[in-house]
Amino acid sequence: MAKYALFVSFFLCLSLAAAAERVTRSAPDENKIKGLRPLASRADYAVTCFTESIGVGANLIRPEQVRHLFGADIDRNYIVVEVGFYSKTHSPFEVRHADFALRNRPSRTLVKSADPRVIGASLSTPVDGLVEKTLPEVSTTQAVAGYLFFPITEVNASFYELDYTGYGSWLTLPLKPR
């Protein structure tokens, strides 16, 4: 009987340890980027593209809105795009900033998104919400949204294309100021 009780206790402890590990892994990270609340539908964005599995919506944020949200330093140096991701099949998908690039339409110059932490560290004045409102880099089944920041390479460009090359697809979203 003692062997049986020891055996049951061992497996009970083992299962509790496994449950504690799952809770620890899923606990929120204090430094985690939160993003924005996604719009109700991907169709609510100015432009939307989708595959059989995911939908991606985007809005080019107007300079005056960027100035209001993040200040003049961001407005002068970055193009800001709001991006929303939606899973059509409710299966997990990866959201990564590296999967996005912004193309200046007239010159076809391609620019990768900038890390918001690096942007924040380079500014003389701290910007509230810069990191928290950035598109979260996560693996998820839920809709997610946030801003991406692309360095300005051409002052007079007014038409852009957002290229997304993740999740086994290549989508191009044409962006015009509203």
- Band the pLDDT of 1: cuts 50, 70, 90: low
Predicted confidence at residue 121, as pLDDT, reads 92
- Is residue 56 scored above 90 in pLDDT? yes
In this prediction, residues 24-48 reach a mean pLDDT of 71
Q: What share of the chain is helix, strand, coil (3-state, %, to 5)?
A: 30, 30, 40
Contact 74, 66 (CB under 8 A): yes
Residue 8 lies in a domain: no
What CA–CA distance (Å, rounded) separates 165 from 84?
15
Residue 121 counted as domain residue: yes
| Residue 118 falls inside a structural domain | yes
pLDDT score of 29 more than 60: no
Mean pLDDT of the chain: 82
> Do the beta carbons of residue 154 and residue 108 sit within 8 Å?
no
Q: 99 with 165: CB under 8 angstroms?
A: yes
How many structural domains are present in the chain?
1
Q: What is the pTM of this model?
A: 0.80
Let me know if residue 111 belongs to a domain. Answer: yes
The whole domain housing 111 covers 34-175
Confidence of residue 148 (pLDDT cuts 50, 70, 90): very high
Q: Is residue 29 part of a domain?
A: no
CATH number for the domain harbouring residue 155:
2.60.40
CA pair distance 123, 91, nearest whole angstrom: 38
